Amino acid sequence: MKKSIIFLAIISFFWSCDEDFLEEKPEDFLSSANAFNTYEDFTASVNNMYYLVRRQFYNRDENRPFDFLYGTDLVFDGEPGGTQRHGNMVQAYDPAGDITTTHWNLLYKNIAEANTVIERAPLSEMSEEEINDIVSQARFFRGFSYNVLVTLYGGVPLVTEAITEPKIDFVRNSREEVLNQVIDDLSFAAAHLPGIAEAQDGRVNKLVAYHYLGEAYLALGNNTEAIAALSKVIDDGNTGLMTERFGTRSAEEPGDVFWDLFRRGNQNRASGNTEAIWVIQFEVDVQGGGLQSGSRGGSYPYERHFAPLLRFAPFTSWPVGDYTGGRGIGWGITTEYYTNTVWGGDASDPDFANDIRNANHNFVRVYNRDNSSALALIAEEIGRDTVWSTENQPRIREFYAYPTKVTTPYNHPDGLYRGGDVPFALTSSAGGTYTDQYMVRLAETYLLRAEAYLANNQPQLAADDLNVIRNRANASEVAAGDVTLDYILDERVRELGLEEKRRLTLMRTNTIYDRVMKYNPFYVENGMQEHFNLWPIPADEIEGNRGAELVQNPGYN
């Protein structure tokens, strides 16, 4: 009997215990149960969203950031033979391939992170002000990520809650449903993010949200709403195009305001740049900063891809680093369209000579001793005033015209210079672009609003916006009757070439096939097809989604 009483007492004790008795409570390590409590906890997660954007668009690896430039009307592969630079387009856009899978995964990774933050923030110990700060950033990144996804893939599965257990029954939402979610998220962000004057450099702010909100409205055909959102950016008293020389090197180097926009240290508002709307931050020799003074490891290899190789006589001092392109290797050769057609064809067109964006220091075609210290030395060594012009040479990876925004002439980090007799000669470790990078600047907002005005049957207002940009560039004004979508896409090349994510622009406007067929014979010969205006849904996603059908885009297996 005594044993029975003891047994019943033990059973009663366990039966009466709260169910929490069985729950694991981590005390000395982070888990999903204890990692989201304080403002510092949530800030660490939000900071990872910034990192994921920088990783995807600027420095994940050697090639993936440039998937937004290769396969468009701007450049072609200088060393063809594979898929990395979209040379074999059928293989490059294989549903099982690295290109489309990598970008899908990175975008949904940011969405998953955002969903967790959005759900957990109201349950935390943060103040209401801190919750708004965290949630507004998370909803911005969710809206931003879905905006890129819907542009690249069309309608995709909408996931707006944190997933805490396996799920294998995703279905695609419509393009309109995804864009409406983008608008909902970005509207919230625009209402709660700080103004641009209050935001730290590199941090998203109201105006960034309004810019992408305008883009999403435009994609839906809601032109009036697009104009209103974009006007919030343009009319803000804290923004304005830069029209005078400024910044770190304006007093010591010849050039103009367009040159100054791309010099080291000039991208942020802290340098007086009121044109900067959202700038991706890089720091040299700072842990996590993405740049190293003695290496291109982890950097944005912008210079390496898009500046020429320049490794033929008399350039025996290669690689050099002023107006000769730094340590380029000529993978992304500029098309005839980008280097000549879009500027008027040749020097007989007044804009070819007068547009400062096409001046030789901004778009190098002529290499001579007057604009390059290294070339001056070469000319002296061979005993004559030599001029090398891309206009009378074949367009090859060793020698072609390129925009100097891809490099940092005269101003690479000290650890990358070789020393010796050749001025500005670089080591083989160079090849990154050692500046902060514009994700959005005000010039693009003007161009986007011009597109919205045109779509809204207001060509004169579209021309007015275009002429704000063209007047700053000392180019002739465009008349309202000459404004077309093609003209706006051309103006984006003149202003934003190799800076904007060109693939997203052309996919959003459903023009990538037509423009590649018209302006980039390399990709025509290497398999350009009309259904490439959307990328395929990754094969892994379709095969693993066993509980429902995840429909593939037309044209893909």
Read off the CATH number of the domain in which 244 is found. 1.25.40.10
Is position 472 within any domain?
yes
297/430 same-domain check: yes
Domain assignment present for residue 17? The answer is no
- Same domain for 274 and 294? no
Reduced to 3 states (helix: H, G, I; strand: E, B; else coil), residue 240 is coil
Q: Which of 374, 405, 435 is the last residue of a domain?
A: 435
Please compute the mean of the pLDDT values over residues 269-294 and round it to a whole number: 92
- pLDDT range class, residue 1, cuts 50, 70, 90: very low
Do 87 and 172 share a domain, yes or no? yes
DSSP H or E run through 388: strand 387-389
Q: Are strands 283-284 and 290-291 parallel, antiparallel or unpaired?
A: parallel
pLDDT of 288 over the 90 cut: no
Whether residue 197 sits in one domain with residue 95: no
Residue 383 DSSP label: T
Query: Residue 26: pLDDT above 70?
Result: no
Is 498 in contact with 401 (CB distance < 8 Å)?
no
Q: At what angle do helices 39-54 and 128-153 cross, to 10 degrees?
A: 20
In this prediction, residue 323 has a pLDDT band, given cuts at 50, 70 and 90, of confident
Tokens 């625009």 sit at which residue?
190
**Cα–Cα distance, 478 to 107 (Å, whole number):** 38
Kindly state the tokens that stand for 465: 């916006």
Query: What are the helix (H) ranges across 240-335?
Result: 257-260, 302-306
Say what the pLDDT of residue 19 is: 53
The pLDDT tens digits for 61-100 are: 889 999 999 999 999 999 998 899 999 999 999 999 999 9
Residue-range definition of the domain harbouring residue 225 = 193-281+437-483
Give yes or no: residues 78 and 168 share one domain.
yes
The pLDDT score that the predictor gives to residue 21 is 46
CA–CA dist 434, 292 (Å, integer): 9
Which amino acid, 203? R
C-beta atoms surrounding 22 within 10 Å: 8
Q: What pLDDT was estimated at residue 12?
A: 44
498 assigned to some structural domain: no
pLDDT on residue 392: 76
User: What percent of the chain has a predicted confidence (pLDDT) above 90?
Assistant: 76
pLDDT band at 7 (very low <50, low <70, confident <90, very high): very low
Same domain, 83 and 112: yes
Q: Are residues 427 and 551 in the same domain?
A: no
Q: Which residues of 169-205 are buried (b: 16+ CB within 10 A; e: fewer)?
A: ebebbebeebbbbbbbbbbbbbebbeebeebeebbbb
Residue 493 counted as domain residue: no
Boundary-marking domain end, from 379, 405, 435 = 435
Average pLDDT over every residue of 277-286: 94
* pLDDT bracket for residue 185 (50, 70, 90): very high
For residue 458, give every residue at least 6 positions away whose Cβ sits within 8 Å of its Cβ, in sequence order, or none. none
Contacts by residues 530-533 (CB-CB < 8 Å, ≥ 24 positions apart): 530/555, 531/555, 531/556, 532/71, 532/89, 532/93, 533/507
In a domain, 504, yes or no: no
pLDDT digits (tens, 9 = 90+) for 428-482: 899 999 999 999 999 999 999 999 999 999 999 999 999 999 999 999 999 999 9
Q: pLDDT value at position 305?
A: 96
Residue range 414-431, pLDDT digits in tens: 999 988 877 888 898 999
pLDDT over 60 at 204, yes or no? yes
Does residue 489 sit within a domain? no
Q: What is the pLDDT of residue 320?
A: 77
At 15, is the pLDDT very low, low, confident or very high (cuts 50, 70, 90)? very low
> Residue 258: what are its φ and ψ, rounded to 5°?
-65, -40
Across 3-12, average pLDDT: 41
Total count of domains within the chain: 3
Whether 345 and 427 map to the same domain: the answer is yes
pLDDT per position as a tens digit, 511-554:
999 999 999 999 999 999 999 999 999 999 999 999 999 999 99
The pLDDT of residue 292 is: 87
> Quick one: 427 and 310 in the same domain?
yes
Which is higher by pLDDT, 306 or 30? 306
| Burial of residue 40 (number of CB atoms within 10 Å: 0-12, 13-18, 19+) | exposed
d(Cα 336, Cα 73) in Å, to the nearest integer?
Answer: 9
Nearest to 118 by CA among 145, 149, 97, 92: 145
Residue 359 has pLDDT above 90, yes or no: yes
140 occurs within a structural domain:
yes
φ, ψ (nearest 5 deg) of residue 278: -145, 120
- Residue 497 CA to residue 362 CA, distance in Å, equals 11
Q: Which of 416, 435, 454 is the last residue of a domain?
A: 435
- 65: preceding bond cis by omega (within 30 degrees): no
pLDDT for 557 equals: 85
- Same structural domain for residues 413 and 295? yes
Q: What is the CATH number of the domain that holds 109?
A: 1.25.40.390
Do 389 and 427 sit in the same domain of this protein? Answer: yes
Summary mean pLDDT of the chain: 91
Q: What are 347's two structure tokens?
A: 């020097």
Number of residues assigned to the chain: 557
Nearest to 388 by CA among 24, 237, 397, 378: 378
Mean pLDDT of 8-33: 49
The answer to whether the CB of 232 falls within 8 A of the CB of 220 is no
* Residue 416 and residue 429 in contact, taking contact as beta carbons nearer than 8 Å: yes
Instruction: Kindly tell me if the per-residue pLDDT of 507 is higher than 60.
Output: yes
The answer to whether the CB of 207 falls within 8 A of the CB of 236 is yes
Cβ atoms 280, 272 nearer than 8 A: no
Give the rounded distance of the alpha carbon of 69 from its chain centre: 10
Confidence of residue 6 (pLDDT cuts 50, 70, 90): very low
In angstroms, the Cα distances linking 431 to 198, 300, 330, 365 are 34, 8, 11, 20
Which of the residue ranges 20-34, 244-258, 286-300 would you say has the lowest mean pLDDT?
Answer: 20-34
3-state DSSP assignment of residue 278: strand
**Chain segment 119-158, per-residue pLDDT in tens:** 999 999 999 999 999 999 999 999 999 999 999 999 999 9
pLDDT of 31 reads 52
* 257 and 269, same domain (yes or no): yes
In this structure, is residue 334 part of a structural domain?
yes
